[in-house]
Amino acid sequence: MERRTLLKALGLAAFAGTAAGRAVAAPPANMKGIEELQKNWKTFLPAGANVPSPAEPVKLSKDEWKKKLPAESFHVMREEGTERAGTSALNNEKRAGIFACAGCGLPLFTSEMKFESGTGWPSFFTTIPGVFETKKDHYLIYPRVEYHCIRCGGHHGHLFDDGPPPTGHRYCNNGVALKFIPKDAKA
């Protein structure tokens, strides 16, 4: 075994052990049932907000995406990169509202779906139904589930099974792939 491969494997094993032993904060106490939370997501939108449909695909060329997105968002969303942990202002976002795709504006999560995971990335225990497609990612040797916006194909992050009840899921999202729309914003 090459030294580099061995060091990667040891590093991943240490990281996995740390992540598995990490205490995960519980979802908000006022959380409704998952079905109700997913069904009533539009109540988190500003009054009169225009909501794009997941059935309206956004297809742009690489150059068009480069013009539309900031460089770091382009790297994450179009090249499946990862932003540095702890750098997103959305980690500390506590207001009521919607987290939408930075590429196409499709609503993905509500503020009640968010929880503090301690990972350094915005984390959610469920999603608005029908907004993501998933695929296996073998980039870090072991397989992970990667998720992409169903409307524009933008990479958002990875799905893990170490989240809080009731789902046990953690959608670990890159902050640069999201835009936050406060409920009290003018539409």
- The 10s digit of each residue's pLDDT in 106-143 is 999 999 999 999 999 999 999 999 999 999 876 667 78
Q: What is the pLDDT of residue 40?
A: 87
CA–CA distance, 44 with 100 (Å, rounded to integer): 11
CA–CA distance, 31 with 113 (Å, rounded to integer): 8
CA–CA distance, 6 with 101 (Å, rounded to integer): 37
Query: Average pLDDT, stretch 43-48?
Result: 90
Task: Return the H-helix or E-strand segment holding 63.
Answer: helix 62-68
- Pairing, β 132-137 against β 144-149: antiparallel
Task: Return the H-helix or E-strand segment holding 108.
Answer: strand 107-110
Give the chain's end-to-end CA distance (angstroms, integer): 57
Question: How do residues 163-174 score in pLDDT, each as one tens digit?
Answer: 999 899 999 999
Single-letter code of the amino acid located at 132 = F
What is the CATH number that goes with domain 3-182? 2.170.150.20
CA–CA distance, 119 with 142 (Å, rounded to integer): 19
Chain position carrying tokens 């999560």: 109
Q: What is the pLDDT of residue 155?
A: 97
CA atoms within 13 A on the CB side of 19: 15
Tell me whether residue 98 is exposed, middle or buried, using C-beta atoms within 10 angstroms of its C-beta: 0 to 12, 13 to 18, 19 or more. Answer: buried
Active-site residue list: 172
CA–CA distance, 114 with 30 (Å, rounded to integer): 12
Question: How do residues 46-63 score in pLDDT, each as one tens digit?
Answer: 988 889 989 899 999 999
